[in-house]
Structures are given as structure tokens and as C-alpha cells.
Chain A
Amino acid sequence: MEPIVEHSGGVIGASWLMIAFPLASAAILLLGGRRTNAWGHLLGVFAPVASFVVAVMCFLQPSGRYDVGLYDFIPGVAKVGLLIDPLSITFALLITGVGSLIHIYSIGYMAHDPERRRFFAYLNLFVAAMLLLVLADNYLVLFLGWEGVGLASYLLIGFWQFKPTAATAAKKAFVVNRVGDFGFLVGLFTIFATFGTFAFGPVFDNAAKASNGTLTAIGIMLLIGACGKSAQLPLQSWLLDAMEGPTPVSALIHAATMVTAGVYLVVRSGAAFFPEGATASLIVTIVGVATLLAGAIIGTAKDDIKKALAGSTMSQIGYMMLAAGLGPAGYAFAIAHLLTHGFFKADLFLGAGSVMHAMKDEVNMRRYGALRALMPVTFITFFIGYLAIIGFPLLSGYFTKDGIIETAMDSNAILGWLAVIGAGITGFYMSRVVFMTFFGSKRWADDVHPHESPSVMTWPLIILSIGSIFLGGYLILSNRLMVYLGPAVGLPEALPQFHPFSPTGLATLALVALGAAIAWVRYGSAEVPQVAPRGSFLTTFARRDLYGDALNEALLMRPGQWLTRLAVWFDNKGVDGVVNGLAAGIGGSSGRLRRIQTGFVRSYALSIFVGAAVLVGAWYVVGNL
């Protein structure tokens, strides 16, 4: 890894503009209120595009690790500064690039919403916070961005807050994330107690001097934070509910960017707190594998197109986590998959949004069917995204997911095979989504008239699908991304060679094909019932999100409610009761003492002083005995 050097001036010195554009735009749109309704969406789109331009200009500068100090935040604790290095620029490009496309798409998607301006304000706020998260040069400022994206996520999931389900989902997302933040905070305290600073440079440089126990503790605490933000087990339950938000939000925040922040955190901290083979890293890989399977299983049973995709997101981030726990050999694949996933999953979500747009906001795939002819652009772009995510040869996902599976296999065969099985399930559930939506017979009501979406929505789809085709190969072949990220995250001892026909790769392809074939038999060629059949125990298990919510309710929510009631009762009857009882007792005896009450303030004052003097005197006597 390269050392971090201080830098000011020039393009790099102006990198803070990336954050400033969307932040200023959000402020204008929120403070300006209805006056900005007419042009609010245009400003809202301009901001991330401007940030994208700045990000590209930073990317074109000579590669290095530059620290741009901005101002003193908490004296003696942390400054606000940006770290511009290959890792942060990569993220900035993804956030502003895919982010801009989703902003453009939202002009069309939210066209009929009276609150479109507020929607853009929140989206801009999100982009600013997300950029702060990835560009921060220390853990505390990273945490500011971390909480900022959480807030934006809360606001956007609950954007249609008049729907009780949306309001509840928003609150749930925030609260579950706070559980993760609790871990993150304890990790921050430990970092400060150990190093006396939050700055990446000094912390990374001196990590080796800290004890193993401390490093593991910090790693686990940061991982808890990462699990919350990235919807990894056991803090995954909020993501499926988060689909209550408008679909562009699901695409931007709950697929392409925010939910990958946990992966960013692990990779960024990798060299210090998640070195290859360490306990914390092992836990990261276990969490990743468990989530990639859990998400995939949930994805198989969902009839709601967005929830099926959300299960898939969980699962794909599980792959990234797995790779992030494998040390320098895995980092580049984790980030590569994160980038390609950003494209194909945004493509899929926006495609789903386009379908919903055409279907009167119906999300139940059992009410879809045969849409490929009616919505050709949406279909083709969605189909490309589908091929990319299942790892169809030569498309983006093929390269990046295969890289993760191969690296996992090299490290531990159990991890590797579980990842292969996950890929097979992906083949099944994604094929199921495509067949139920675009193939088979039409199952929608007569008053629904599906139509292709306007070009402001289809163009972003087209661009995202192009990325879904080529990006993976570009990043992986000749180890382009790995070499580029090397100075920031470190390189493995030997660069991996890409084998198109490795045994693992062939096994993966075979399982994916099998999954797709089963899906075709059940949902493509067969008639899909409009009402979900009851299904076996396993189906119910998957439909109910592996009983995650039931578990939370039984273990946390109900006991919490009882504890709250008990505490309120105790405070009213117990603590306050004692005081009131005492007061009543005094009241009784004071009735007899009422004769002394003259009503003159001076005599009260006198008695207070006499009483105090007596007490002091008594204490003197006792003290001197």
C-alpha cells in the first residue's frame, strides 16, 4: 500500500465540490419550498451530474493517495478531510454515475407526484452523504456520512409517509441500522482509545503495533455496523420492508450504493482490522456466505418483484462480503462485483419500476406475464441485467462473481462450494422473475394497459444495460481493477489468472443452467396461478424471510414492550409513589403543625436559618466526638 500524502490545490483540492453540489441543491430545494417546484427536478439532476464531472476529473489525475484537509471539526479528536485514492474515486464514480442515471430516470418516474421536488431534495441529500462516506479521510467523518445516508434512506423509504406501511418500514430501517451503528460506535471508541486518532493514515500505519485482541474487537464491532448498513445477517430484516420506497430509491440506495457501504468499510479497513486469516476476517466470510444463501432463498419465494430483487441484493452483497473477508486476493473482486452489481441491479430495479409504471403500480408478478412484446426496451434491458446477474458467460456478472467464487474456493472449499450453490439458486430465482414477468400468458386485469415507458426512463436503462454487458470484463481481464486499486488496498502475492473453463466455473455454470431450467419448467412453460399456492414448509420459510421478523418480534419487540410497560408502571407507582406517599404523610402531620404557619416570609426565613444552624451544629458535635 502506498502512503497517504497531504495535498491541496488543483483538481484534487477541489474534490469537496463533489459533496457540495448535491448538498447545496438539497438545501435549496428544501428551503425554497414550493417556489422551486417548477425547476426543482432539473437542479436535482444537475447536482449529481456536476459531481460526476468532478469525479471524472479527479479520476484523470495522476493516481495516488491524496489527503485533502478541509477544516478542524472537533479539536483534538478529528478534522474534516477527504481521502482521494483509487478506492474512493472508484466509489465516487459509481455513486455519481449510476446516481445521475437514476436521477434522470426519476424525472419520468415521479412526474405525477406532487412532491417530486422534495423527492429530488432527499435524493441529493443522499448523494452528498454517500460521497462523504466514501471520501472521508477518517472514521468519524465516515460515520457522519454513514448516518447521513441512513437518514436519507429513512426519508426516502417513508417518502409516501401517508401509507402506514411505508412509515413503519422507514422507522424499522432506521432502528435496525442503529443497532449496527451501536456496534460501529463502540468500534470507534476502541479505535480512539487505541490510537488516539480516527485518521486513516496513522491508524493503518500503526495497526500492527496493537494487540491482536484489540484488532479483532475493532474488526467485529465495525462488522456489526457493516451488517446493519449492508443488510447482512443478523441485521438483514429491514431491507425487504425498505421496498416500500419509490423504486428509484430501491435502485440507488437499496441496491447500487448505500447497502454496499458495509463492503466499503471492510475493504477500507481491511489491511488494519481484517487481515487475511484473522478471526474477524473469518467472521466476515461466514456472514457473507450465510447472507448470500439466505438472500437467495428468500428471493425464490417472493411474488413481489421488488422483494425478489431485494432478496437478490442481500445475496449479492453477501458475495461481496465473502470476498472482502478474503484479504487482498478478494478485495478487487469484492469491489468489481460491487461495481457491476451497481449497474445490473440498478438496471433490474429500474426495469421493475418501468414495469410497475406500466402496470398501475402492481408489484405482484403473478399479475404480470407476457410483457416482453408490449415493453420491448424494458424487456431487453431487463433481460441483459438478468443475464449479467446469473453470470451468463462474458457478461459483467460472469467475470466478477466467478472471481469471488474462485478466490473463495482457493481459500476454503466449504466457502467456495456454498458460493457455487448460491449461484445456482440465483439462476433459479432470477429466471423465475423474468419468466413470470415477461413470458407466459398475460395475467393482468382488463383495466391495465401496459405501455413502454417514456424515453427519459428508457435511456438510463439502456446505458445501465450496456454497463451490465461490458464492465465486468473490462475490470477483471488483465486484472485492471486489481492493479488500479493496489495502492489503496494492497495486492495479493500473485496476481490471479483468469481461466475461462476452470472446473469451478463450469460447475457454477451447470448449476445456474439447472436453476434456470427448473424455473422454466415451473414458471415459463407452465401456467402461473394468480394466487400463490400454499406451498411446503420450506416455501413458507422462505416467504416469511426465514422467520427473521418473527424472531425479532419474539426476542426483542415483545419483551421490549413488556419492559417499557413495566418501567412506566414502576416509575409512576414505585419511584413517584414513594415520594407522594411521603408527601401525604407529611401533609397529615403538617395539619397539626399548621398553627406555626404565620404566613410571614420573614419568619419562614428565620426558621430556615435556625434549622440550618442546628444541623451544622449537630454535625460539628458528631464530627468532634
Chain B
Amino acid sequence: MNYWLSLLMAVPAVGAAGVAFIRRDRTAKVATLVISLVTLALTVAMTVQFSPHGDTFQFQEKYDWIPALGIHWAVGVDGIALVLILLSAILVPIVVLASWWDAEEGKRSVRTYFALLLALEAMMIGVFAATDVFLFYVFFEAMLIPMYFMIGSYGGAQRSYAAVKFLLYSLFGGLLMLVAVIALYSLAGKNSFLFTDLIGVIKEPGAQRWLFLGFFIAFAIKAPLVPFHTWLPDAAAQAPAGAAVLLVGVLDKVGTFGMLRFCLELFPEASRWATPVVIALSVIGIIYGAILAIGQTDIKRLIAYTSISHFGFISLGVFALTSQAQTGATLYMVNHGFSTGALFLIAGMLISRRGSQYIADFGGVQKVAPILAGTFLIAGLSGLSMPGLSPFVSEFMVVNGSFQRYAVPTIIATSAVVLAAVYILWMYQRTMNGPTVEGVRELTDLNVREKWVVGPLIALLLVFGFYPKPLIDVITHGVNEAQISIQYTNPAPAVPVAKEGS
């Protein structure tokens, strides 16, 4: 028994409480940065101790919380949860640094914003670490609170509308899940909410299907899949750039993570039953999101729609039921966090300089701010899955793995590579290329703080683009364990070739 995961949550949670009471804004910011870096260091230290060949759940802790109802404070990570916690821990300090001046202009307190960031970090770690279904639900809902305030109090002009929309959508999904959680508990009749106690206990197909739907719709709203997606562009466009990164980069991943962990592992039969619909929704989302991204006039909405397209790839990979596709989908969740994180943050730097998030207000930025333009291009290329940058690896694994089982839907999904080139490069051309327009001439290039924001993300995109093996090894561990509980076999190649690698 050890206390790694509780410690990981305690550091930012206690830090959040402390930061909220620091009088000086600057001290509060520095404290937030230090706390988030300490959390990152602890996460890295934990990650290196993870054994890719060890138990399903490692770093487990279990204490009774409400014994009468069988609710536990139970946490533990498999490879899938681990990389997502790592993603959260990496993104938070970057977001803190990026948000340095984001909370200044509003009427609200600056230190509260940073305290909310830390509180959110604690909950993000909790939601991925929870191995008690009820505890998961609690984190799932609690995450909404800091995010609601970050959008509603610190966002753009339409922040109230966007925040309420985000909250209502999420609460609706959460309510469905709550019903399913309670029903699962009572049907299982084990007086326990522990994930491991609930695997494989619901055998009756009808019950599985209803429970599956309760969980799935909640996750599909969170992820979000088409047609549950319209809250995301509003929320992401109105949120401050840093909050948008955590919203799209991490919070939405809880949806796809939940599909893999809860829908598939708890209700494998029902998942198979629902697969045709999910695959269809995913493919529609991939194409539909990409087409909508092309049509956007607002940079942040454009990025939000690209994410809807990307979430389609993730859910396709999750439900294709091949190891390669599921590993790819999990890796996609991580890489998408880096990629969209970089896009949103650099877009945020661009927008705050110009005071507009409309593409039409830009033009020729490359001439006056080449580093900003160059990093934006790299982030953009990662968004269109350029090989050499990490999202390529995950997208390729998803489509290559899905093709083995669902050839035609995968071919349709793959056509998004053309659309992705259009939405990214057209946006880049309109904002960065051409003659420098009025209002852009005075733009300054990235300052040192901003380089420290963008640099690590680009380094991660490049390193995992060329050498994704460490992440894949960890993820494969989780996916293999999941494969055992879902009970699927990978399709064999038509012409078996003696394995000798390449």
C-alpha cells in the first residue's frame, strides 16, 4: 500500500485552498505554478515506477467512505488512466504559465482563477484514478464546478450563455449516469461500488443495454460526439484559452476514457450491440466536424470543431475492438491534449494581441511575428496529423487498427485527412500569410514566458512523434487488460507472415 495517488490529488487540492487566501496576485500565481510543477514531478516519479507488466491496477488505495452503501475512496491506475493523469499533470503548469495575465481584466479575483485551476487539477486526477464507480461519478460531476466558474466568470463576451449551456448539457448527462450508477449497484447486489466488483456481474442483455445507454450518453455528451456537440464550440470559444485547453484537452477525454473503461468493460455485450451506431456516429462526427471547422470564421470555434472531428477518431478506435485501435485511441487522447493545447494557447496569444478572434481580422502575421507563426504552424500540422508529430502515430493506429474490422467506415473516416489539411492550412493562410493587414503590423512576437509555454508542448509533440514507444508500452498494458474483460480477439492477417518485425 502506498499513497501516491492520494498525494497527487492532495497537493493541488490543498494548494488550491492555500492559493485562494494569498493576498498578492503575483505570489498566488507563483505559488500555483510551483504547486503544479510539484504535482508534475510527483506524477513523473510515480510513472517511472509503473510496471508495464504488473497488475491491472497499480498504486491502489482503498478506504471505506460510506460503508453502509459500499462506497469507497478507492483509487488505482492502469496504463490508460496513468497516461491521462500524466497528460493532466503536464498541461496544468503550462496552462498556469499561459494564463498569467488572463484573469487580470475581469472584475473577478485573480487568485481565485488560479485556485480554481488547482482544484480542477485535483479533480482531473481523481476522475481518472477512481476505481470506485460512485467516486468516479462524484469527480465526474465535481469537475464541472471549477470549469463553470472559469468560463462563466473569466470568459469572453458571451460567457454566461456558454457556461450555462455547458453546465446544463453536462448535468443532463450526469443525471443519466447517476441513474445508471445506482441501478448498476442495486442490480449487482454486492453492496459495493468497486469497479472490480462490478465487472461481469450484469449478465441479462436488457439490463446491460439500459445501463450502457445511461453511461454512454453521459460520456457522449462529455466527449462530445455528434449530435451532442453544440455546447463545445460555445464553451471553448468563450472560455479563456487556458481553460479551453483543460476543457478540450482533459475534461472531454473523461468521456472517451469512460467509454473504454466503463461502457466496454462493464457492459461488453451491450457495447457490441451498440457498436454499429457508435461507429456510424463516430464517422459522421469525423467528417461533419471537419466540414464545420472549414466553415468557421472564429479561430477558437474552428479549433473546437476540429476537436469534434478528432473525438470521432477516438470513439471509432475505442469501439473498433482491436488492440491497435484501442491503444491508438488512448494515445490519441494524450496527443490530442498536447496538440489542441498548443493550438488553443497559441491562438490565445494571437487573439489577446489583436483583441479579436475572427480570422478575417488577421493577415500576414508571419512577417511581423515569425516565431508565433512558426509555432502556430507546427501546432496546426499536429492537428492535421503530420507524420513526425505525435498525433500522426495515434491517428494512424486508430485507422489502421479499425480498418482490420470495419474497412468501409474507416475508409470514409480516413478521407478526413484531406479536410484536415483544408481547415488547418486555410486558417493558417488567412491569418499568417499574405500582406500584413492593418491592426496586425504592431503585433509583437512571442515573449520569454510564452516561449516557455509553447516550447514544452512542441517538444512533446516531436519526441512522441518520433519515439512513441514509451507511451505505447504503458498504454498497451491497460488495453490488454481491458481486452481480457471485454473478451475480443484481434483479426488475423489474411496472409500470415512469420513475425520478424520490420
Interface residues, chain A, with chain B CB atoms under 8 Å away: 30, 33, 69, 71-79, 81, 137-138, 140-141, 143-144, 147-148, 151, 154, 158, 161-164, 167-168, 170-171, 174-175, 178-179, 181-182, 185-186, 188-190, 192-199, 201-203, 205-206, 209-211, 214, 563-565, 567-568, 571, 575-576, 579, 583, 608, 611-613, 615-616, 619, 623
Contact = CB atoms under 8 A, between A and B. Distances in A.
Nearest to B381: A151
A76 B324 contact: yes
Contacts of A186: 403, 411, 414
B486 interface: no
Given A75-B473, A189-B399, A158 B433 contact: yes
A571 B366 contact: no
Contact of B168 (A74, A205, A583, A616): A583
Given A147-B387, A175-B421, A202-B500, A185 B493 contact: no
B502 interface: yes
A623 B207 CA distance: 9
Contact of B210 (A175, A209, A576, A619): A619
Contact of B433 (A162, A182, A199, A615): A162
A202 B497 contact: yes
B425 A175 contact: yes
Given A195-B493, A214-B494, 13 more contacts: A73-B467, A74-B468, A75-B472, A76-B323, A151-B388, A164-B435, A182-B415, A195-B494, A199-B501, A202-B497, A568-B292, A576-B230, A583-B168
Contacts, number: 190
B434 A209 contact: no
Contacts of A161: 366, 432-434
Given A151-B386, A567-B288, A619-B210, A179 B502 contact: no
A134 B423 CA distance: 30
Interface string B386-413: 1110001100110110011001001100
A564 B291 contact: yes
A81 B502 contact: yes
Contacts of B381: 151
Contact of B435 (A33, A69, A162, A202): A162
A227 B484 CA distance: 43
A211 B493 CA distance: 13
B366 A189 contact: no
A144 B388 contact: yes
Nearest to A567: B291
B19 interface: no
Contacts of B34: none
Interface of B: 168, 175, 178-179, 182-183, 186, 206-207, 210, 226-227, 229-230, 288, 291-292, 294-296, 323-324, 364, 366-367, 371, 374, 381, 386-388, 392-393, 396-397, 399-400, 403-404, 407, 410-411, 414-415, 417-418, 420-422, 425-426, 429, 432-436, 467-469, 472-473, 476, 491-502
Given A71-B467, A77-B397, A161-B432, A571 B497 contact: no
A319 to B, nearest CB: 29
Given A192-B404, A568-B295, A182 B397 contact: no
A619 B183 contact: yes
Given A162-B366, A182-B415, A619-B183, A612 B178 contact: yes
A78 to B, nearest CB: 5
Ranked 4 nearest A-B pairs via Cβ: A196-B493, A199-B502, A167-B433, A189-B403
A147 B371 CA distance: 23
Contacts of B227: 575
B142 to A, nearest CB: 13
B479 to A, nearest CB: 11
Contacts of A194: 493-495
B435 A206 contact: no
A69 B426 CA distance: 39
Contacts of B420: 178
Contacts of B186: 616
A608 B181 CA distance: 14
B230 A612 contact: no
Given A196-B497, A202-B497, A616-B179, A579 B230 contact: yes
A74 B472 contact: yes
Nearest to A192: B400
Contacts of B371: 33
A181 B178 contact: no
Nearest to B435: A162
